[in-house]
């Protein structure tokens, strides 16, 4: 019965690390831990996630919308998404660091690239799945291409696009952990700093990463619900029941 106890005490130690400052394992009166200390790393990781996700959206969404609207470039849009899954995130981060350099700007660019495939693919697929009769009806009322995209296709495609955005966001946030190899102080500092933070600090870092990932997921799931047109919700409820 000592093992469960030891595990339990490890986790209470981790929460203690999050809540109260303490001396670093390496000593010298250096204080680590506590809410402000941990938040500092978490904030950097969240900031770079937001920047990278915004850049991904700004690039992948318009491309996906246009390709999906025109029904062209399926190989590109879908193939890119599938290929993107096979590329190890750490390889992208390191290759970009080796080619363009380290620091916030470069990490944001690398993470932006990782965020592109799910958004692009989902946007394309979402637009292709829009009921053609709805598009025809819109055209019939005299809308031009841009109006059809923004007023009909985009709202109807929004839920599927959002699920791509969720995948991108989680992927970007998770990978931002590794950014502490290449010049950005994220929560990766905590999980790889066992010498100074001890097991408590490492587990604390992991707990905060996990909780924030879930918070991002929940928040974006909420957004997804908000952007789902009422008609679609009703339709789904009927299908689901």
What does residue 172 show for φ and ψ, rounded to 5 degrees?
-65, -45
Query: For other proteins, which stretch binds (CB under 8 A), given 121-129, 134-142, 146-154, 173-181?
Result: 173-181
Residue 129 touching other proteins (CB under 8 A): no
**Minimum distance from CB of 109 to other proteins (Å)?**
15
Is there a contact between 31 and 21 (Cβ–Cβ < 8 Å)? yes
Distances (CA, A) of 74 to 62, 69, 121, 123, 175: 15, 11, 9, 11, 28
Minimum distance between the CB of residue 28 and other proteins, rounded to whole angstroms? 3
Pick the stretch among 4-12, 52-60, 130-138, 231-239 that binds other proteins (CB under 8 A): 4-12
> What gap in Å lies between CA 170 and CA 153, rounded to an integer?
26
Binding residues for other proteins, rule CB under 8 A, total 61
Interacting residue with other proteins among 217, 224, 227, 228 (CB under 8 A): 217
The binding track of 86-105 with respect to other proteins, each residue x by CB under 8 A or -, is xxxxxx--xx-xxx-xxx--
Q: Does 196 bind other proteins (CB under 8 A)?
A: yes
Query: In the set 19, 30, 137, 219, which binds other proteins (CB under 8 A)?
Result: 30
Residue 59 tokens read as 């690039």
Judged by CB under 8 A, the residue of 50, 213, 223, 227 near other proteins is 213
203 binds other proteins (CB under 8 A): yes
Task: State which of residues 38, 51, 158, 178 lies at the interface with other proteins (CB under 8 A).
Answer: 178
* Angle between helix 35-70 and 74-86 (nearest 10): 150
Give the whole-angstrom CA distance, residue 109 versus residue 116. Answer: 11
Point out which residues bind other proteins (CB under 8 A): 6-7, 10-11, 24-30, 32, 82-83, 85-91, 94-95, 97-99, 101-103, 170, 173-174, 177-178, 180-185, 188-189, 191-199, 202-203, 205-207, 209-210, 213-214, 217
């Amino acid at each position: 019965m000592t093992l469960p106890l030891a595990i339990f005490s490890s986790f209470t130690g981790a929460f203690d690390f999050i809540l109260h400052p303490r001396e670093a394992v390496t000593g010298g009166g250096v204080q680590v831990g506590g809410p402000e200390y941990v938040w500092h790393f978490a904030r950097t990781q969240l900031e770079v996630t937001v920047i990278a996700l915004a850049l991904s959206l700004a690039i992948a969404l318009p491309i996906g919308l246009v390709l999906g609207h025109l029904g062209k470039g399926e190989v590109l849009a879908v193939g890119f998404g599938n290929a993107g899954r096979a590329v190890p995130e750490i390889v992208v981060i390191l290759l970009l660091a080796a080619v363009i350099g380290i620091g916030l700007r470069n990490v944001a660019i690398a993470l932006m690239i990782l965020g592109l495939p799910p958004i692009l693919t989902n946007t394309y697929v979402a637009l292709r799945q829009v009921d053609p009769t709805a598009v025809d009806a819109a055209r019939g009322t005299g809308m031009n291409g841009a109006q059809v995209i923004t007023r009909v296709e985009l709202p109807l495609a929004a839920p599927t696009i959002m699920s791509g955005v969720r995948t991108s966001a989680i992927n970007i946030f998770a990978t931002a952990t590794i950014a502490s190899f290449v010049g950005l102080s994220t929560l990766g500092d905590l999980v790889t700093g066992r010498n100074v933070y001890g097991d408590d600090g490492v587990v604390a870092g992991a707990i905060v990463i996990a909780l924030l990932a879930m918070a991002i997921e929940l928040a974006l799931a909420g957004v997804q619900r908000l952007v789902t047109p009422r008609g679609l919700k009703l339709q789904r409820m009927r299908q689901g029941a």
